[in-house]
Structure 1
Amino acid sequence: MRPYIKQNKILFALTLFTSVIASLGYVFMAVLLQQLLDIAVERDIRQFLQIVVFSIAYFALLGMFLYLQSLLSKKVVCRIIYQIRSDMFRGTMARNMEDFYRKNTADYISVMTNDVKMLEENFLLPLFEVVQYTVIFISSFVLMICFDLIVTIFVTMAIAVMFLVPGLLGRSLEIRQNSFSSKLAAFTVSLKDILSGFEVIKSYSMKEYAAQRFDRENKETARSKYSVDRLLALNEGVSAFLSLMVQIVVFFLSAYFIITGRITVGTLLGMVQVSSNLANPLVMIFTNIPKMKSMQPIIEKLKETANFPAALSRKGVPASCQNCIYANELSFSYDGQKEVLSGVNCTIERGKKYVLVGKSGCGKSTLIKLLSGCYSTYRGEILYDNTELHRTDPDTVAQLSSTIHQNIYMFDESIYDNICLHEDYPGEMIKKATDESGLTEFLSGLPEGLQYQVGENGSNLSGGQKQRIAVARALIRSKPILILDEGTSAIDRQTAYDIENRLLKLQDLTLITVTHHLDEDLLKKYDKILYMENGCIKEEGAFESLISVPSRFAAYFQLKK
């Protein structure tokens, strides 16, 4: 947390200053009460009026500082929370696809919501409370010595016992807070999974199963939360009991000293007030310190997410694809055991059109992801113009290709925003992209045109319309490589044919298509067909050369027909 405190050091210092002044003013009330009671006992009306005037000014000033302390503490907490969330989001966005998908997306959501909220409630807010109550305790202790040394000694002995409580409970509380954080993440993952499958749940009458699963996860999360709260309750209860004992010791000793004539009645009131300023702050301190210590695993988790770029991102030479992308003896495994690709060799020349075909699970999409730089844990070589992919800058690799997937994601914004993605493009480029993607006819039928709102994930659009917007999104960026990864498999054959045929006519575009739709007219237009089986490229060549002789592709093509 130190970097965030340094970033806000002026605001943080002002908050501490107002907190110290407000705390000292709160403690000084004991002296004011002592003087007031002694004056009342002496029946001195002149001094009484003087202390009334002084008290009015004093409380007005104290109220102002209490307001400033509360306002500034909330402001600095809000600013730090904003900065933490911002850093974590940027750290998440800095990951490549390989690193990003090692976690469930709900885990990232949980960290940025649940864990940050826990940090605010169990670290940042308690931090200011500890500072405030520490000032109150120290100043009250000094004042207690001024009132009576013997009472102070007895109070000190009672306080020493209170120091044992946080040490006994701190480690257990840390373990339980970490467990609760994990439960919150699991609950978020489960809830996201259930809501994402809403259509399936409704279609297959799974409401009872969904309710039971939610109740199970909800109950486990509540049980984990109660486990933390139970320990906090023990800590608070013991601290409150010891705090009461301190006040009782002060009260009885002071009463005895009044009887013996050692102190005045006003001093009794002052010491009772000061003793509460000793005991209550200690309760708050010993309640908050275990909370803050228990946040250490959460802080480490937040730090790992926020500091990802510095730790794991790589920089290298700018990638280029002026000539070709070459894969040499390329092998890959997702889990480090079962190979998905084995010894793949292929060349993708700039400006040519390639289609990958083969049975489901043969490694087509995995090969595409590797060639476009999504994964780095491969064996063999991937060369971009004779430069190995590991030596290139990932950001420049991403600028060379656009990928259209089977499941197109649409932001809940306008068609224009989903095409341009909040970048500025001239009108003629937008017109060209919509024409080449076949989107113009659809737009002409919309009163809003490009400003038409697509809804959540394109809920206001058909599958074909979403695919055409995705094509326009890719084409407007004029990247040299376009990857169609089953990009037309979820729409009708006529629309799919039209989209693919339009892309094949673009002369300067390097097109790599993964498809199950084996349309002879389209296959003839590709420069090369790559036929895959069991993670290997078994055959490659033009359609006519492969179909005219007995081949694996010819047998597969006839089977698909």
Structure 2
Amino acid sequence: MLHVSKEDIMNQFLKENKFLLFVTVLFTVVSSLSYVFIAIVLQKILDIAVIGDKKGFLTTMIFSLFYFLFIGIFAYLQELCSKRFICNALRSVRTKTFEGIERRSTEDFEKYQTSEYLSFITNDVKLLEDNYLIPLLEILQYTIVFIASLAVMIYFSLIITVCVIFAVLLMFIVPGVFGGIMAKRQEAYSEKLADFTGHVKDLLSGFEVIKSYGMKRYALSRFEKSSIQTINAKYSVDKTAAANDALSMLLAVFLQVVVIFLSAYFIMTGRVTPGVLLGMTQASGNLANPLLMILGSIPKLKSVKPIIKRLKNLSEYQERRFIGKTAPSLNKKISIDHLKFSYDSSRNVIDGLSLNIEQGKKYALVGRSGCGKSTLIRLITGCYSKYEGTIRYDDTDLGDLDLRKITELSSVIHQNIYMFNESIYHNICLHQEFTDHQLEEALEASGSAGFISQMADGLSHIAGENGANLSGGQKQRIAVARALIRHKPFLILDEGTSAVDMQTAYDIETRLLKLKGLTLVTITHNMNADIFKMYDEIIYMEDGRISEQGSFQELMEANKRFRDFFELKK
């Protein structure tokens, strides 16, 4: 299901932001070089002081003041560009990852929990910032400082520099030792972060259950356990980083000690001046510390590779089976032939089902819970691709259709309605344009007009998080209005009126049944004979198959499985 390109998500960003990268690199080069050349300025100051050249000392001091001002300006510009570069990168990665998640088919989306997706977009992107973007810019900056410092040291003394290079070579052992370990532990930490986010979301979502059933001790215990596991995973990463940093620091100190002793020896032998000792000490610091930062950053870059790969796969997701371009139509019928489907390959939820849904007809889909009614609807609307058999809209196979346009053909009203934390108006219109007449018509048909008119702020009333400011019945009325305002030719009610009172449910359903040209499929447990008589056909399902099918009168006269179910439920 994944389209994988040769470039990772960060390489794509770098190519798309060449100018910003160029400016950032430019200011980084200028800022780094100006900082390194402080060693030469210090060498000149000390040597002038030693020989007692007052005029030269004053000139050098004035030059130094302007030079340090120059360093400050370019250091600010370098930091500014670096921060902008990081901000743009994070925005780009988050956006592309979110777009990739939104492109996922229903079956692929359900492979992860919502909390895991939240963790990918927040925690993983934060890890990307801390362990890739910042270290990447640090490596760029400190590599320039290292090379320039090496050049300055050669300028001061070639012999000392050669000795220092041998000490430097020892420092390159460090990344190889810790890089692989860091990568494994960083990936484990990312997984624990995702688990922790899931536990917290689960506990907060179940707040009312926890309060009602006295589960506070369990909730705290579960939270603490997950928190400890996450902290332990982080500490495991930190321990490896600490060992890496300590060894690198030890080698850096060793490097500076070598420089100081060699420079002091050459002063005693008269080969260099005291100013050179000061300059060499400064330059060696610029040599050791940058190398220390580089060696500390390389394992971080390696450690984040699994996270980059995961974000790349999420952002570049492409549906492989449903790649059709044909616009769906429903002028004749939806034909389903020998359909089989399983969620886990152990049992068929839909088992050899065949059915025709003719344009303009009304169908009631009934059966015991778990018989496959909702799964059938999800298959018809293209939510799942891994099925056997055929589903055709008119004469076109579902796999050849543009699935994005199926949503323009059909509306589904689910039992569990999701409401955005926005106004009722936007929850109905979903930020699309409709006339006042269309809105009023949908409100009346859905039974929403009454309770909305009684609200002080009317359509501007905020629904709250997942409709927390609305009752279950109000949410379902709004969901019905959301579907009706679009006048789509195919409407599916998946227990869509289960939360409203019987009279309102009856009114809504009878209005829908009277709409000419509308193809309606209703999944219901409401055994109302008057309603059933208005349907063209009732489809009774058992164990993923159609057990009986026909009008209400025909099925009751047959006196078989449906009648038993109807009488028992009633």
Determine if the TM-score, normalized by the shorter chain, exceeds 0.5.
yes
- Residue 140 to residue 74, structure 1, CA distance change in 2 (3 Å): same
Paired position in structure 2 for 1:205: 214
Question: Is contact 2:448-2:477 (8 Å) kept?
Answer: yes
Paired position in structure 2 for 1:146: 155
Q: What whole-Å deviation, never above 9, does each CA across 1:429-478 have from its counterpart, x for those lacking one?
A: 11111111111122221232211111111112111111110001001111
- Residue 297 to residue 311, structure 1, CA distance change in 2 (3 Å): farther
SS of the equivalent of 2:541 reads strand
Paired position in structure 2 for 1:302: 311
Task: Tell me the TM-score normalized by structure 2.
Answer: 0.97
Q: From 7, 11, 26, give the equivalent of 2:20.
A: 11
- How far apart, in 1, do the equivalents of 2:363 and 2:243 lie? 68
Q: What whole-Å deviation, never above 9, does each CA across 1:366-414 have from its counterpart, x for those lacking one?
A: 1111111111111111110011111111111222111111111111111
Paired position in structure 2 for 1:90: 99
Q: From 364, 376, 379, give the equivalent of 1:370.
A: 379
Paired position in structure 2 for 1:494: 503
Q: From 107, 115, 135, give the equivalent of 1:106.
A: 115
Question: Is contact 1:95-1:313 (8 Å) kept?
Answer: no
Paired position in structure 2 for 1:352: 361
- How far apart, in 2, do the equivalents of 1:386 and 1:213 lie? 53
- How far apart, in 1, do the equivalents of 2:106 and 2:232 lie? 35
Paired position in structure 2 for 1:71: 80
- How far apart, in 1, do the equivalents of 2:380 and 2:154 lie? 76
Give how far 1:543 is off: 0.4
Give how far 1:533 is off: 0.7
Q: From 172, 189, 197, give the equivalent of 2:181.
A: 172
SS of the equivalent of 1:262 reads coil
Matching residue's letter, 1:22: S
Paired position in structure 1 for 2:284: 275
Give how far 1:311 is off: 6.6
Matching residue's letter, 1:193: D
SS of the equivalent of 1:518 reads coil
SS of the equivalent of 2:349 reads strand
Question: Is contact 1:529-1:540 (8 Å) kept?
Answer: yes
- How far apart, in 2, do the equivalents of 1:377 and 1:522 lie? 35
The answer to whether residue 517 in structure 2 is matched with residue 508 in structure 1 is yes
Paired position in structure 1 for 2:331: 322
Aligned residues: 561
Give how far 1:312 is off: 7.3
Alignment of 1:456-495 (within 5 A): 456-495=465-504
Question: Is contact 1:443-1:450 (8 Å) kept?
Answer: yes
- How far apart, in 2, do the equivalents of 1:16 and 1:372 lie? 50
- Residue 386 to residue 92, structure 1, CA distance change in 2 (3 Å): same
The answer to whether residue 47 in structure 2 is matched with residue 38 in structure 1 is yes
Paired position in structure 2 for 1:162: 171
Alignment of 1:523-538 (within 5 A): 523-538=532-547
Matching residue's letter, 1:208: R
SS of the equivalent of 2:540 reads strand
Measured on the aligned residues, the alpha-carbon RMSD in Å equals 1.2
Task: Tell me the TM-score normalized by structure 1.
Answer: 0.98
- How far apart, in 1, do the equivalents of 2:545 and 2:437 lie? 43
Give how far 1:315 is off: 3.4
- How far apart, in 2, do the equivalents of 1:316 and 1:99 lie? 21
Question: Is contact 1:373-1:398 (8 Å) kept?
Answer: no
Paired position in structure 2 for 1:439: 448
- Residue 247 to residue 45, structure 1, CA distance change in 2 (3 Å): same
Paired position in structure 2 for 1:336: 345
Q: From 188, 196, 199, give the equivalent of 1:190.
A: 199
Q: What whole-Å deviation, never above 9, does each CA across 1:77-107 have from its counterpart, x for those lacking one?
A: 1001101111111111111211111111111
The answer to whether residue 461 in structure 2 is matched with residue 452 in structure 1 is yes
- How far apart, in 1, do the equivalents of 2:71 and 2:65 lie? 10
- How far apart, in 1, do the equivalents of 2:158 and 2:320 lie? 56
Question: Is contact 2:335-2:393 (8 Å) kept?
Answer: yes
Of 323-332 and 439-448, the range deviating more from structure 2 = 439-448
- How far apart, in 1, do the equivalents of 2:462 and 2:123 lie? 31
Question: Is contact 1:23-1:132 (8 Å) kept?
Answer: yes
SS of the equivalent of 1:54 reads helix
Which runs of 5 or more residues in structure 2 are unaligned? 1-9
- How far apart, in 2, do the equivalents of 1:117 and 1:449 lie? 41
The answer to whether residue 394 in structure 2 is matched with residue 385 in structure 1 is yes
Which runs of 5 or more residues in structure 1 are unaligned? none
Question: Is contact 1:235-1:287 (8 Å) kept?
Answer: yes
Q: From 22, 27, 33, give the equivalent of 1:24.
A: 33
Counting aligned pairs with the same residue, the percent is 52
The answer to whether residue 525 in structure 2 is matched with residue 521 in structure 1 is no
Question: Is contact 2:360-2:520 (8 Å) kept?
Answer: yes
